[in-house]
Every structure is written in structure tokens, then in C-alpha cells.
Amino acid sequence: MEYRYRPIEFGDKEYVERLRSTKRNRATALSFPSVYTWREALGLTICRTDKFISIHSRSDNGYFCPMGDEKECLRWIDSMIKTGDPFKVMYLSREQAEILERYGAEISLNRDLSEYLYNSHKLALFVEKPVDNYKSRIKSFKKKFSYDSELIDGRNVSKISVFLNGDNCCDMPEYERNVIEKVIETFSQFNMTGVLVENQENFAFMAGYANTEDIFTYTVFFSSKEWEHISVAICELELARLICDSFDIVDFEEDLGIEGLRKNKTLTGPDEMIDAWEAFFDPASRGDQL
């Protein structure tokens, strides 16, 4: 079988959501809101049948964990090995990685792509966890600034575009702005929830969506320039208060190996990690082990 890849379309949503197994792999990167909003920034393309989905990332020069019928996924692995070219499969659970290890892959844990999970009730109630550093950031922000918080949903999400395109918005890479714009554009379609924290001079915005039935993923954040490095914690708190009755777990996604992000997510005191494993195949050096 020849596997052909094309740009991801919104019509792929039903297939990804049907074929993705969140019991075996909870990685947010495999959710349709993630692949759709990041499709341009990462150069994502898709190969799709009724029983199987494969997504290629031009940016990462690799493939996301294939989704769907296990036999179909392994047939895809077989076909990739037979090309004789090296390739990488990303965002695997450990169980999935160990299966591919038996097919001749070298497997490894990618700490930079592993995701941070927190108990939403502890965040919202501000007790036990999060750790003291997180609490001190909240207290410091509240002491220095008065603010109002507002729920953002599909009815008022257009308000956020004004902040994003205002002169006071923090600087960000073009790819990140592109992703935020895609999130705002698809806010209603993906039933996203966000929180806007603001006063007369400054603002901060954070939003996310249901990754699984019990996990809510915080996916975007931006703020005014003055609040860029000090308002993340207050947004985490306010958004947790909005969603904790519906979701037991909050996913802060990966840190990408960025020192500041890793420090911030670690200090918040994660309860669990979703480990992102990778499998690397080099058929020329290892041979066909099927």
C-alpha cells in the first residue's frame, strides 16, 4: 500500500477523534485541536484511511504516533522500514515504544516533549499543592495588582483578538502568533474555555480544551508586555477555578526544553508526567527485523 500525505483539513476531525486511543496514549499532541491549530507552524500533513492515521511533521522531521487499528499501524511501520530510509516516530507511550523496539527501533524518552499534569482542585483551591514557589507568585501578583477575571468562550472570544493585535501585547515569534490566531478562529468548534485577567493597564489570557474526558489542556497564553513573566500563575489559578468541577486533571503541556518554561512548570509541582517516547529506525544499519 502506498501512503500519501496531504495538508490537514477540518474534515479530518471525526477520524482523528474516532481512531485516537486516549486509554493507551494521552499525549495532547495527538489531539485534533492540537494538530489542527499547529498544522501550519509545524508543517503537519496527514495520511488517512478508515482504520489508520499517520501525521508527518516537517518541523520535527518525524512522524507522530500512528493512530487506529494496531495491525494497520504495524503495516505502516513495516512499509517505512522497507523503504530503507531512517525515520523517527514521536509522542509514543512507553508501551507503544516497547512494541516498536521489538521491531528494531532504538527507543528513548524525550523529556522536552513530556507533559506536566496537575490536580485541578488543588490548583483551584490553592491548598496542599501547588508548592510554595507557586503560592508566592500568586500572592505577589495579588499584592501588586488589582484585577478582574472574565470567562472567555465562543460568545466573546472576538474580544481577545483586540488584545492580541494591540500595541501593548507581548512580543512573540510569528509561529506562536499564528497558533494563537488559529486557536481564536476555532474556539467555538473545539468548545474551548479561557480566562481573561485584566485591569486598566494590563491583561493576560489563557485558554484550553478537553484533551480527554478527565484532562483539560492549557494550550495558549499571552499577555501585555508588563505582565509577560508574572501573570502565568494567576491565569493558571483563575482558569483552574473555572474548569475544576468538570476536569480532575490539568495538562500544562511540554516545556520544549526551554529553561524558563521548565522552571515554571516544575515549580508548580506536577502530580504526574505524560512521558513522550520516541522510536528511531535506521533500516540500513539494523536490517529488517520483521
3-class secondary structure, 9: coil
Q: What per-residue confidence (pLDDT) applies to 132?
A: 59
Domain with 229, as residue range(s), is 115-273
> Is there a single domain that holds both residue 151 and residue 267?
yes
For residues 19-39, give the mean pLDDT. 95
**pTM to 2 decimals?**
0.90
Number of structural domains in the chain: 2
Query: Same domain, yes or no, for 18 and 60?
Result: yes
* 26/169 same-domain check: no
What pLDDT does 290 receive? Answer: 42
Residue type (1 letter), 99? I
Q: Is residue 1 part of a domain?
A: no
Give yes or no: residues 103 and 131 share one domain: no
Query: Which residue reads 505577589 in cell numbers?
Result: 140
Residue 284 Cα distances to 36, 79, 179, 257, angstroms: 34, 14, 37, 30
Query: Which residue, among 90, 20, 96, has the nearest Cα to 62 in the 3D structure?
Result: 90
Categorize the per-residue pLDDT at 167 as very low, low, confident or very high, splitting at 50, 70 and 90.
Answer: very high
**100/239 same-domain check:** no
In a domain, 88, yes or no: yes
When the pLDDT of each residue in the chain is averaged and rounded to a whole number, the result is: 92
**Do residues 127 and 200 both lie within one domain?**
yes
pLDDT-derived band at 260 (thresholds 50, 70, 90) equals: confident
The domain spanning residue 267 has which CATH number? 3.40.630.30
Q: pLDDT tens digits for 40-72? A: 999 999 999 999 999 999 999 999 999 999 999
Q: What is the pLDDT of residue 127?
A: 54
Domain shared by 86 and 148, yes or no = no
User: Is 119 in the same domain as 98?
Assistant: no
Is residue 279 within 8 Å of 101, Cβ to Cβ? yes
Residue 160: band (very low, low, confident or very high) from pLDDT cuts 50, 70, 90: very high
